[in-house]
Amino acid sequence: MRAVVPADHYRGYQDLLQAVREGQDFRVHVAAREAARTAVIAPHGGRIEGGTSEIARALAGEEHHLYLFEGLRTTGDNFHHLHLTSSRFDEPRCLELIAGCTTVIAVHGYATDGPDVLLGGRDEDLKSRLAAALGAAGLSCLADGHRFPGLDPGNVCNRGATGRGVQLEFSAAFRRRRDWQAMAGAVRAVLDGLPVGRPGLPPCAARA
């Protein structure tokens, strides 16, 4: 096994596999729900960005596809060894799951002080709907002007059928509170209320 470099230097999943092992350092969980067109993913779940797996599960419920890439290392260095940056996150099971989805939400965590949620991604319509719903639920949100815009077309949240998704970055303080019921209810209500042909979706995706 090669000497490990910071995970954000990995060129992609195959590069990461040269340094870490599935089942020992990380695991992948996929729950595909029949007829679902929305996927909730946590590409830095488990011990990489604490709480993001649990939040993703709460958002997906039993109706939406769920994907988790979870750090398992017990030495406290999961972020350093396993954080494959979102613009290079190309784990095949994730890409297969989201390829046919018209809506993709990626759940992340950030460590610095700031609002409860930073919203990014290329799906401006969904981002606006979520920001309004989360604000109404009492969360502090920032949808623009932060350092996690998620606008790169290669960002995994933008690799679904429409080329547009949403990235939700939850603060460390919010994740530590573990009081996520209002947040999850707000997000799920938005997903439940999305019209099939909402603005910005290519016609083929709107009909799917």
pLDDT at 198: 55
Asked if residue 132 belongs to a domain, the reply is yes
Could you tell me where the beta strands, DSSP code E, fall in the chain? Answer: 26-31, 38-46, 65-71, 103-110, 117-120, 141-142, 166-171
Asked if residue 4 belongs to a domain, the reply is no
- Residues β-bridged to residue 197: none
Asked if residue 207 belongs to a domain, the reply is no
pLDDT at 201: 56
**Residue 200 tokens, joined:** 């910005």
pTM of the model: 0.92
Asked if residue 156 belongs to a domain, the reply is yes
Domain count, the chain: 1
CATH at residue 118: 3.40.630.100
Comparing C-alpha atoms, which of 158, 193, 208 is closest to residue 36?
208
Instruction: Tell me which amino acid residue 109 is.
Output: G
Asked if residue 203 belongs to a domain, the reply is no
Asked if residue 7 belongs to a domain, the reply is no
Which residue segment(s) compose the domain that 140 sits in?
21-192
Asked if residue 1 belongs to a domain, the reply is no
pLDDT at 5: 42
For each successive 10 residues of the chain (208 residues), what is the average pLDDT?
A: 53 95 98 96 98 98 97 93 96 97 97 95 97 98 95 98 97 95 98 75 45
Contact 20, 26 (CB under 8 A): yes
Asked if residue 6 belongs to a domain, the reply is no
